[in-house]
Amino acid sequence: MEEYFSFDHRLGIPVPELTLEWDQYNEETQQKILFYWEQVRGSIPDRISELETEINLKQTLLSNECNFPRSCQLNTEIAELASIINDLWLWYRANEVLSTKAHQ
Rounded alpha-carbon distances, angstroms, from residue 78 to 49, 83, 97: 14, 9, 31
The answer to whether residue 100 scores a pLDDT higher than 60 is no
- d(C-alpha 13, C-alpha 41), whole Å: 9
Q: What is the pTM of this model?
A: 0.86
Which residues have CB under 8 Å from 67's CB, separation 6+?
Answer: none
What stretches of the chain show up as alpha helix (H) in DSSP?
27-63, 68-94, 96-102
Check residue 96 and give its pLDDT. Answer: 61
Instruction: Report the pLDDT averaged over residues 2-20.
Output: 94
pLDDT over 90 at 7, yes or no:
yes
Q: Does pLDDT of 102 surpass 90?
A: no
